[in-house]
Structure 1
């Protein structure tokens, strides 16, 4: 399950406003590469929607079946807002419904077939 924790407003090039929901997965224990200590975190991603702002606000706190997974992508630059540091990223987080996760886990990719 994922929870809707917020929403964000965006503006298209033509000036039209649209929204996305911010969804967050469950709590995960992760070991720090630097200190070796364990800390808790939760994966978060934006989920496109066709809702207006009132509907987005009303959905905060709702849950959806599914999960957030790390997906490998072409490298891109990411700027850390807190430090201003630019880091090259090769992944992003994506929401997968339960059905999509089952298919993703059980279908053999064409490049893996000999």
Structure 2
């Protein structure tokens, strides 16, 4: 499951401001290629949005 855990305000080269949503995935187990042991990890990324600050906070 993907969860929105925050947002960040950023600016394009032309000065236009927009918000990036910070997304966090659920815990997944990955097998190491070297040791072949399992370890838990969580993926995290940012995605651009057209939402204003109020919508991002909610």
TM-score, shorter chain, exceeding 0.5: yes
Q: Counterpart of 2:8 in 1: which secondary structure?
A: strand
Distance 1:39 1:57 in 2: 32
Specify the alignment match of 1:45 in structure 2: 45
Please tell me whether residue 15 in structure 1 is matched to residue 15 in structure 2: yes
Specify the alignment match of 1:5 in structure 2: 5
Specify the alignment match of 1:69 in structure 2: none
Measured on the aligned residues, the alpha-carbon RMSD in Å equals: 1.7
More helix by share: 1
Distance 2:43 2:16 in 1: 29
Which is higher, the Rg of structure 1 or of structure 2?
Answer: 1
Per-residue displacement from partner, 1:62-82 (whole Å, max 9, x unpaired)? xxxxxxxxxxxxxxxxxxxxx
| Distance apart, 1:2 and its partner CA | 1.1
Matches within 5 A, 1:56-95: 56-58=56-58
Q: Counterpart of 1:27 in 2: which secondary structure?
A: strand
Q: Which runs of 5+ in 2 are unaligned?
A: none
Specify the alignment match of 1:92 in structure 2: none
Distance 1:47 1:40 in 2: 23
Aligned length: 58
